[in-house]
Amino acid sequence: MEKQAMLKVSNLVAGYKGVPMIKGISFEVKQGEIVTLIGSNGSGKTTTMKALTALIPIMEGEIQFQGKVINKLRTPQLVSTGLVLCPEGRKLFPNMTVLENLEMGAYSNKSSDSIASGLDKVFGLFPRLKEREKQLAGTLSGGEQQMLAVGRSLMSNPTLLALDEPSLGLAPLMVEALFEVLKEINKQGISILLIEQNARKALELAENAYVLESGRIVLSGSSKELIHNKDVERVFLGVD
């Protein structure tokens, strides 16, 4: 039985101050799937994420999530539907504790039992956060801060988790650990849309991939195919 499309983006145009940065892109994420968007700096990856989560206006095109058009929904409404962004740069509250940051992620959740269950899941994935739950977020290491950013997003109970450059600035061992956690999150039934500068790691993790260049999708297919594509090898994987 073929998986249903959870997120379907059709001919999307978006940008800043009336200038399009993404120019008619189309892609989809199916139920239970990990999909990655890769591209060089300035290709439109982060703009795509911001358009999907209503952080910038959509100029043209359509976004469907779980069968409903969501073009006109605001960010808090999108979170309530299950589409949640873990943003580039983490965007933590540095003067609040780990626990307080996680609780902020559950702001739309009014059930204390559900919040407690969410904390149990996050601490199960990231035991180090449990050890540091009373520590100020701003005093954590870079890797711990990224754990907290992902954990805070999970507190919103996503059905699709969109991650923007989660490995940026992390040491190689921490990158490995983070991607193992992303696999586990996916096993728990959460679909993942991953934007990632580490193209090799992203392609190794994802089932399907799209390559962005100058605001357009220039290649798409299974990650197994694209990781051996000569152009992808040359541009993103450092293979001559």
Q: What is the number of H-type helices and E-type strands within the chain? A: 10, 10
Question: What is the total count of domains within the chain?
Answer: 2
**Same domain membership, residue 142 and residue 165:** no
Say what the pLDDT of residue 90 is. 80
**Same domain membership, residue 126 and residue 177:** no
Structure tokens at 202: 């992203």
**Same domain membership, residue 164 and residue 152:** no
**Same domain membership, residue 167 and residue 56:** yes
Say what the pLDDT of residue 6 is. 94
**Same domain membership, residue 117 and residue 203:** no
**Same domain membership, residue 219 and residue 183:** yes
Q: What is the mean pLDDT of residues 157-181?
A: 93
0.75 exceeded by the pTM?
yes
Structure tokens at 126: 């990231």
Site of tokens 């450059």: 165
**Same domain membership, residue 186 and residue 77:** yes
- Sign of the alpha-carbon dihedral angle for 140, 144, 146, 147: negative
pLDDT confidence tier of residue 35, bands split at 50, 70 and 90: very high
Q: For the CA atoms of the chain, what is the radius of gyration? A: 17
What is the CA angle 144-148-151, rounded to 5?
A: 135
Say what the pLDDT of residue 186 is. 97
| CATH code, 193 | 3.40.50.300
Buried b (16+ CB within 10 A) or exposed e, 4-22: ebbbbbeebbbbeeeebbb
Q: What is the mean pLDDT of residues 62-85?
A: 93
Choose the final residue of a domain: 157, 177, 211: 157
pLDDT value at 2 more than 90: no
**Same domain membership, residue 165 and residue 77:** yes
Say what the pLDDT of residue 206 is. 97
pLDDT value at 9 more than 80: yes
**Same domain membership, residue 101 and residue 36:** no
**Same domain membership, residue 76 and residue 175:** yes
Say what the pLDDT of residue 237 is. 64
Calculate the average pLDDT of the chain: 91
Domain that holds residue 73: 1-82+160-240
Q: What is the mean pLDDT of residues 18-40?
A: 94
Say what the pLDDT of residue 1 is. 62
Contacts of 120 (CB under 8 A, 6+ apart): none
